[in-house]
Amino acid sequence: MTSSSSSVVSARNLCLTYQTNDGPVHALSNVDLDVGKGDFVSFIGPSGCGKTTFLRAIADLEKKTSGDLTVNGMSPEDAREKRSYGYVFQAPALYPWRTIEKNIALPLEIMGHSKDEQKRRVAQTLELVNLNGFEHKYPWQLSGGMQQRASIARALAFDADLLLMDEPFGALDEIVRDYLNEQLLKLWARTNKTICFVTHSIPEAVYLSTKIVVMSPRPGRVTDIIDSTLPAERPLGIRETPEFLEIAHRVREGLRAGHSYEE
Ligand code: ADP
Ligand code: MG
């Protein structure tokens, strides 16, 4: 296990409780986790187990209730000010009146980068997500998968080492998702990013990750952390190998153990 000082994300006894009219909701309860540099960590679990809350806490969009959370050794607030992460939301959230190029450049524009620098970075990130040639299109002229790639490009544009991705491919069909999973692994290998990735899909989590965090709701908590034994090089066919199926089985068992059938 990586020591917390060299971790990109480190949580110790992390608790986050929302106060609501119906009383407190324990979205995260005593979460202990280290995400090492260059790790690809997936968070998997049923709705309401705190996956989004955890990403939002890392991004300083929610405040912890108690415990410790550091991002690159800093408080989430300091890390946000240093623009330590890119965030990819569940829906692409592109502005329909801006071209793909202008959508990707928006955060760079806000950060005050020169026009030349914006152009350079847009071209570079479009290349990374295989969207060269589409810079002058509008989002609605692109397929769902291409729009999601554009929003990944936007998150990559300011070159943060940490990428937070909340079910980025959840709304896409399986063929497109397979393709994007492969692309994302290649991108991860090429860029050396650290990725925290939320998903509902067991095959997706096992295919992509170096580490799989299984979560369970009420209270939101981590029930298993699985270090993947799969090699770095992963053709899609790896999903039929015994090693892959064994990890998938352990994830499924973890999900089942934490599941309540009350609802
Ligand atoms: P997941 O992403 O795993 O589906 P969330 O992190 O969105 O789970 O939510 C965890 C729990 O916290 C759920 O019970 C959810 O209803 C609750 N929750 C999430 N956001 C808020 C909020 N802003 N206010 C109150 N409760 C919230
Ligand atoms: Mg969520």
Domains and CATH numbers, the chain: 1-80+162-168+194-263 (3.40.50.300), 85-159 (no CATH)
How far, in Å, CA of 106 to CA of 210, rounded?
A: 32
Q: Is the dihedral of CA 40, 61, 21, 25 positive or negative?
A: positive
Q: How far is the CA of 132 from the centre of ligand 2 (A)?
A: 31
Amino acid identity, residue 86?
A: G
pLDDT at res. 2: 42
Of the pLDDT bands very low, low, confident and very high (cuts 50, 70, 90), residue 261 is low
Q: What is the mean pLDDT of the chain?
A: 92
Distances (CA, A) of 116 to 23, 100, 111, 120: 52, 17, 14, 6
220 lines ligand 1 (CB under 6 A): yes
Token pair of 178, please? 């397979």
Q: How far is the CA of 212 from the centre of ligand 2 (A)?
A: 16
- Which ligand minimizes its atom distance to the CA of 56? 1
- pLDDT of 122 above 50: yes
Token pair of 124, please? 């570079």
pLDDT at res. 262: 54
- Which ligand minimizes its atom distance to the CA of 16? 1
How far, in Å, CA of 201 to CA of 171, rounded?
A: 12
86 lines ligand 1 (CB under 6 A): no
- pLDDT of 250 above 80: yes
For the segment 102-123, the average pLDDT, to the nearest whole number, is 92
Please check whether residue 185 is in contact with residue 208, taking contact to mean a CB–CB distance below 8 angstroms. Answer: yes
- pLDDT of 175 above 90: no
Ion ligand 2 contact residues with beta carbon within 5 A? 52
How far, in Å, CA of 105 to CA of 99, rounded?
A: 10
What is the distance of C-alpha 245 from the center of its chain? 23
Residue 262, number of CB atoms within 10 A of its CB: 5
Residue 261, number of CB atoms within 10 A of its CB: 4
The helix-helix angle for 100-110 and 144-156 (nearest 10°) equals 20
| Residue 198 three-state SS | strand
How far, in Å, CA of 89 to CA of 66, rounded?
A: 26
pTM: 0.92
